[in-house]
Amino acid sequence: MTAPTPPAELPRTVDAAASEEADAAEPSEDLGKTRQAPSFDEASRQTVIPGGSAGVTAENTGEVPNPDDSQTKTRRLGPFTMGRRLGVGGMGVVYAAKYTKGDRRAVAVKVLTPSLAADPKVRKRFNREMEIFKKLRHPHIVRYFGGGQTGGKLFYAMELLSGGSVEDRLRETGPVDWRRAVDFAAQTADALHHAHAQGVIHRDLKPANLFIDSKGNLKLGDFGIARDANATALTAAGRTVGTYAYMAPEQISSALEVGPKTDLYALGCVLHELLTGRPPFSATNPAKLLHSHMTEPPPRVRSPDCPRWLADLVDSMLAKDPADRPFDALAVRELLRERAEEEATRSVIGRTAAAESTALGATVSEVRTQRDAARKLLGRKKKRKRGPAVPIYERAWFLGLLLVLMAGGATWAMWPPGEEELYDQAAALMASDDVNDWRAARENFIDPLLERFPETEHAPELTAWIDRIEVDILRRQLRTQAASVFASPRNELERQYQEVERLADFGDYWGAADQVNVLRDLLKDNAWTKREEIGADNARYYGLLLDQRAAELESELRDDTLGRQGFVADSLRSAERAFAAGRVGEAREKWTGVVQLYETVPELVPQVEWSRARLAGQSPPPPAFLTEPTAAPEPTGKDEPPPDGPAPSNSEAAE
């Protein structure tokens, strides 16, 4: 069976009202049996999630539905007919299912466990998982089809894969061949590179979350505890999330920031397990296992057929300090592919050379036998043998020529690239949309070009490229800072800039644009540089960033017809509709946003007071700004009478 593609009719989001009939058909009784608590050897490979009691998972609540029960009626969930249970994760249960519309494609449906669904934080995390899945489209990431809520149950549908997981493969066959391990790791690194480029850190990479399709390709799944750097953090400070056996030191301690290299550590653990059959650290005690990740050097991969470079790569990925790990997932992917190709080429050359040597030996022997037979028939005597011939590679003239060629080659290889060559290499990388290419361009070509040729005619363009790189770095730093529970703004400018992003994330581009203009004016007056909060160079990059954001916000507002007050009123009307539909969490999120963002804005005091009242559970009379706007009447034809009656006669019109 091949992994299905999404049916054309499958909606991206299935709303609660999408299938009242399905809700009515769904049995209300709770099905399932209480499972025995897992041993720590099994539990050390389970995901730890925050929220509720420590260590709560879908599996150990004892409330896992079991559609395999022969006495169970056919279960429906929204537009899906539920089948057998495929697995249990930290927050939910995954079932095989069929889409009831179109061609009834087979899919996998993940359902939030009933006991966890009562926790608002867990529900929010489940919704965040869906939001993350929506923006990840990659050949090596499990494909998301759509999701929503029906009958009070949160769920989403995704690609159904038939090849099991890497954990299943390891359990069945043990360690895999190093070439297969490299292939798996390269595909995983490719998926991580895409996720990291979207600002998503998986935080729970392990063999159980790596799935295999019918063609043997790998797909990364289960983003249940993934962190989106562009969204509000859901994990409180000091909380550990992840799976013990694959957890990076920075996930255990808050001394270092969790980032993309956290996933590289987990990938190193997975690669170690693929090559040896076990993760780098194991223990029967959780504290001892976490302590090993923090302090003990990882065991070296020792396998007769494992290349040394691969063992070195695993060691570097398992470095305690993220700065000592590879630069990013793309670097890991390229290294794995390049070295694997080199090994394959070397193997082919070796086999070819051996075959040619054998064939050549047989031919020489055959020629000698034929020559001796011919001499015997002709009655010729063999010539007297001369002294041993000197091989050509031992003759003086050949050695001298070889020395000259080697010296010339070394000089050519060490000769530094010229100005135009450096510029061309930099331009090619800066034309990319990948920020990693930009940084490589600066390190390898732009900075060396400016250092060796300070008077270059390309100086203006090189400066513009450096500005683009620095602004991108600054913007990413501020985004990461806003999403982190450990980092705080370094100065007042950064604190006020965070307000710009909060307003923009809420959808208030008017407020964000006003805040940007205030900050631009303060920068022009040197308000912060005079207080030495930021240097002149940094002020320039902040100014470029603000100019960039101003242009983006202006583009967003170009076709706006609501205005700021209209936007806030529209948000509050949307909150009331959500509340009426039973989506209380969504409504409270909008009311909270209005209070937090506009409590100091004089013209929005009525909207803030209304939001506060609704958050307190009050239901005051609806103010005028909650009235839904009426659409303008459609234009009528010449011969069509107006809505209120027939057209007046000429005499009536004259009167």
Q: What angle do CA 123, 54, 127 make, to 5 degrees?
A: 15
What pLDDT score does 433 carry?
A: 82
413, part of any domain: no
Q: Is residue 393 part of a domain?
A: no
* Residue 392 or 433, more confident: 433
Mean per-residue pLDDT, 474-486: 71
**Is 326 in the same domain as 442?**
no
Are residues 195 and 324 both part of a single domain? yes
Q: Are residues 324 and 285 in the same domain?
A: yes
What is the chain's alpha carbon radius of gyration, rounded to the nearest angstrom?
Answer: 34
Rounded to two decimals, the pTM is 0.47
* Reported confidence tier of residue 29, pLDDT bands at 50, 70, 90: very low
Q: What is the pLDDT of residues 260-290, one digit of tens each?
A: 999 999 999 999 999 998 999 988 778 888 8
Residue 429 lies in a domain: yes
Q: Both ends of the chain: CA-CA distance in Å?
A: 82
Q: Is 215 annotated for ligand binding?
A: no
Mean residue pLDDT of the chain comes to: 74
**Residue ending a domain, choose from 284, 314, 336:** 336
* Band of pLDDT at residue 364, cut at 50, 70 and 90: very low
Tokens of 165: 């997981």
- Buried/exposed code over 306-339 (b: 16+ C-beta within 10 A; e: otherwise): bbeebbebbbebbbbebeebbebbbbbbebbeee
pLDDT of the residue at 235? 43
User: Is residue 212 domain-shared with residue 316, that is, in the same domain?
Assistant: yes
Q: What percent of the chain has pLDDT over 70?
A: 68
- Give percent of the chain above pLDDT 90: 12
Residue 228 CB neighbours (<10 A) = 20
My answer on whether 237 and 293 are in the same domain is yes
Run of H or E including 107: strand 106-112
Per-residue model confidence (pLDDT) at position 148: 85
pLDDT band at 226; cut points 50, 70, 90:
low
Pick 345 or 43 by higher pLDDT.
345
Helix (H, G, I), strand (E, B) or coil at 269: helix
Number of C-alpha atoms within 13 angstroms, CB side, residue 242?
26
pLDDT for 380-399, tens place per residue? 444 444 545 556 656 676 67
Count how many domains the chain has: 5
What is residue 5's predicted lDDT score, i.e. its pLDDT? 39
Cα(493)–Cα(500) distance, integer angstroms: 11
Same domain, 126 and 51: yes
Considering the domain architecture, whether residues 300 and 184 belong to the same structural domain is answered as yes
Do the domain assignments include residue 348?
A: no
pLDDT of residue 70: 38
pLDDT score at 190: 92
Residue 348 pLDDT grade (very low, low, confident, very high; cuts 50, 70, 90) = low
The region of weakest confidence among 19-28, 175-184, 186-195, 228-237 is 19-28
Q: How far apart are CA 440 and CA 426, in angstroms?
A: 9
* 302 shares a domain with 260: yes
Q: Tell me the sheet residues that pair with 87.
A: 94
Same domain, 50 and 115: yes
Q: Tell me, what's the pLDDT at 185?
A: 94
- Cα angle for residues 302, 193, 209 (degrees, 5° grid): 65
Maximum pairwise Cα distance, the chain: 144
Per-residue pLDDT at 261: 92
Judge whether 383 lies within some domain.
no
Domain boundary among 94, 125, 158: 158
Predicted confidence at residue 332, as pLDDT, reads: 92
284 domain-assigned: yes
Q: Tokens 């242009």 appear where?
A: 551
Taking only the tens place, the pLDDT of each residue in 73-88 is: 568 888 889 999 888 8
The CATH number of residue 122's host domain is: 3.30.200.20
Q: Are residues 586 and 547 in the same domain?
A: no
Domain that holds residue 502: 489-557
Identify any residues that bridge with 110 across adjacent strands, giving them in sequence order.
94, 156
344 membership: H or E segment, kind and range:
helix 329-378
Distance CA 36, CA 31 (A): 16
- pLDDT over 90 (residue 313): yes
Residue 106 lies in a domain: yes
User: How many whole angstroms separate alpha carbon 630 and alpha carbon 632?
Assistant: 7
Distance CA 612, CA 575 (A): 13
Q: Give the pLDDT confidence score for residue 501 in this predicted structure.
A: 83
Q: Is the pLDDT higher at 338 or at 650?
A: 338
Residue 460, pLDDT > 50, answer: yes
Tell whether 442 is covered by a domain.
yes
Last residue of a domain, one of 336, 368, 393: 336
Burial class (CB in 10 A: 0-12, 13-18, 19+), 635: exposed
The answer on 321 and 195 residing in a single domain is yes
Return the CATH number at 302. 1.10.510.10
pLDDT value at position 274?
Answer: 93
What mean pLDDT comes out for the span 123-152? 86
User: For strand 92-99 and strand 80-88, is the pairing parallel, antiparallel, or unpaired?
Assistant: antiparallel
The more confident residue out of 430 and 479 is 430
pLDDT classification of 18: cutoffs 50, 70, 90: very low
My answer on whether 461 and 537 are in the same domain is no
Joined together, the tokens standing for residue 402 give: 């070889």
pLDDT for position 483: 65
Q: Which two tokens stand for residue 478?
A: 């501020």
